Amino acid sequence: MNQKNPLLEPFETAPFSRIKTEHYKPAIEESIRRAKADIEKITSSKDSPTFENTIEALEFAGEELDRITSIFFNINSAETNEEIQKLAQEISPVLTDFKNDVIQDPELFKRVKKVYDKKDSLDLNVEQNTLLDKKYKMFTHNGANLDPEQKKQLRELDKKLAALSLNFGENVLAETNKFELHLTKEEDLDGLPKGVRTAARMLAREKNKQGWIFNLHYPSYIPFMKYAKNRELRKKLAIAFGAKGFHGDELDNRENVLQIVKLRHQKANLLGYPTYAHFKLEERMAETPEKANSFMEELLEKAKPAAEEEFNELESFAKDLDNIDRLEKWDAAYYSEKLKQKLFDLDDEQLKPYFELNNVINGVFIVAEKLYGLKFQEVFEVEIYHPEVKTYKVTDEEGNDISLFYADFHPREGKRGGAWMTSYKSQYRQKEKNERPHISIVCNFTKPTDEEPSLLTFNEVTTLFHEFGHALHGMLADTVYPSISGTNVFWDFVELPSQVLENWCYEKDALKLFAKHYETGEVIPDELIQKIKDSATFHEGMATLRQLSFGMLDMSWHGRDPSDIQDVKAHEEKAFEPTQLYPDVKENCMSTSFSHIFQGGYAAGYYSYKWAEVLDADAFEFFTENGIFDRATAKKFRETILSQGGTEHPLTLYKRFRGREAAPEALLRRAGLLPKR
């Protein structure tokens, strides 16, 4: 079996063409067996525990398992089907069991603790010290100090949580795929741009239907909400979008939400923490839920007056334009777009011809070359999991290999919504060899149609730059140990490299490099660039309130004892009160499809988007002082932030780059909530 399973044979790049679904489970089981054998060698050693024979040996045990599981779970996100989802339900508890076997192994912990207890006399370098701390906390955070009965409880909790989280995500995906708004009358398309109509017609054709189909995937949903004149149809689509997992049927996620937060709280208590947020934030820049909450409250205080003013202006604009008495959530994007057009004479349809997908990809590559000297060459011999995936070889100015880069841009039924960066192979150094990473970004951008190539909205352009910023963090990693390489950093620091790169999308010197009309080749005119800049802070108060509402909802679930919460919707309404502008929609519930916190890794961490915005605004001000393509500033950012991963505390790394802590005023200035300097 082992010889025939491509996942168990040595491979440099993921052997997608040879992997069959039935290969995953046996490969994972076998690589678990091999990882256990590696760990057995550590625990049965007669030699006294040292950093090398215990901590380093543990770091590289299970390396094969990491690669196989990264392939499996990436496929489950980007190209899944019922068979793979079923397999994920089977594999998750097996992996949870293995993880618990390792972190609850008393002999292994004994050896780790012996090294940890004498760390002051070991003469370790900074990275080794970080790894030792990380390994020790891996055990203590996962119950190494618990008694046998408590350890058993923890295992059960982890197993249940893994299954619930998977089920939550599957329900959201099923709900997203299930809904269709099927239109057959042309007048129902009033206001919709030509490209949006064409895409909807193609979608209907794929389903063997006449007319046009709109669905809950972002490239279909967002333009409809922004441009469709028919208010009732916007309402129908918006309610469907907001009601995912909230229909009282077999895909309802309310019970999953309640179970997840209660089990997380039990886990935190078992490990000696008052709440799940206290447990999670110990390894974050914010450190405590109190600090995270006060950070959000301070921003709320600054942003709320501006948000209320913006909302009132929008409401009176809608009343004047269409005699709308009360602004509802399904009116937000539509009237915001209309007001933006009026104030700035700008809309996405004007901009899209300048943002053809291949030009934008080329643009982000040019920006990376100008900043960091990177070269991107498309290669075709690397195996891919879907025909739409592109692969690139990344080298530096001397021709040295930096990374392999995968990119997957368009929505499909087997792909979850949103955009993310991931990796198929970590960077690390071992035996004098610097193993280079394999990095991937996955997005859901507007597809090409029969009549037009893929033309991106400006929001999609910033999303591509955002995910590429994460990718650079992975690609430029240069550390010894894989578990602290690349994006393996504190959660509220991980968004700095991604969010800082978005700033280049607003800069004339960057846009002129790639924003060219797809038909004429004309470079984007200065007046359009000025409009992009002028409109960048449009409704920034409301946008800030929206992000804070998600962060506060997250903390309301994880920063207190949730055992008395019976009604998901009622709890959510209360959490949203301080940030609420629009009337509530009784048919909708955010929590039941809040995948970031119930399926992804953002539980007790959603505030980190705003936290990282403070860092990125402050960092970008440093870039602007010397010019946005200043090589010396870029070199400093690469050497102090991008290459360092999680080798040191992020505050130390940031201060090394900036010379001081980040100033929140930089974000408020950029958001237009404070005067520019």
Average pLDDT over the chain reads 95
| Whole-number Å distance between alpha carbons of 396 and 374 | 5
Which pTM does this prediction carry?
0.84
| Whole-number Å distance between alpha carbons of 372 and 400 | 13
> What would the pLDDT profile of 136-187 be if each residue is shown by its tens digit?
999 998 888 899 999 999 989 999 999 999 999 999 999 999 999 999 999 9
At residue 277, the pLDDT reads: 98
At residue 3, the pLDDT reads: 58
| Whole-number Å distance between alpha carbons of 581 and 211 | 36
> What would the pLDDT profile of 590-613 be if each residue is shown by its tens digit?
999 999 999 988 999 999 999 999
At residue 43, the pLDDT reads: 97
Instruction: State the catalytic residue, choosing from 79, 337, 349, 467.
Output: 467
| Whole-number Å distance between alpha carbons of 247 and 68 | 36
Which token pair is 243?
A: 């009601």
Q: Which residue from 321, 323, 338 is spatially nearest to 228, judged by alpha carbons? A: 338
With a cut of 50, which residues of the chain have pLDDT below it?
A: 1-2
What residues pair up with 376 in beta bridges, in sequence order?
A: 394
3-state secondary structure of 392: strand
At residue 601, the pLDDT reads: 86
> What would the pLDDT profile of 472-522 be if each residue is shown by its tens digit?
999 999 999 999 999 999 988 999 999 999 999 999 999 999 999 999 999
Those residues with Cβ within 8 angstroms of residue 652's Cβ, 6 or more apart along the chain or in another chain: none
Active site residue 540: no
Dihedral pair phi/psi, residue 421, rounded to 5°? -110, 145
Domains of the chain: 2-145 (1.20.1050.40), 179-242 (no CATH), 257-345+537-677 (1.10.1370.10), 353-518 (1.10.1370.40)
Which token pair is 623?
A: 């870039």
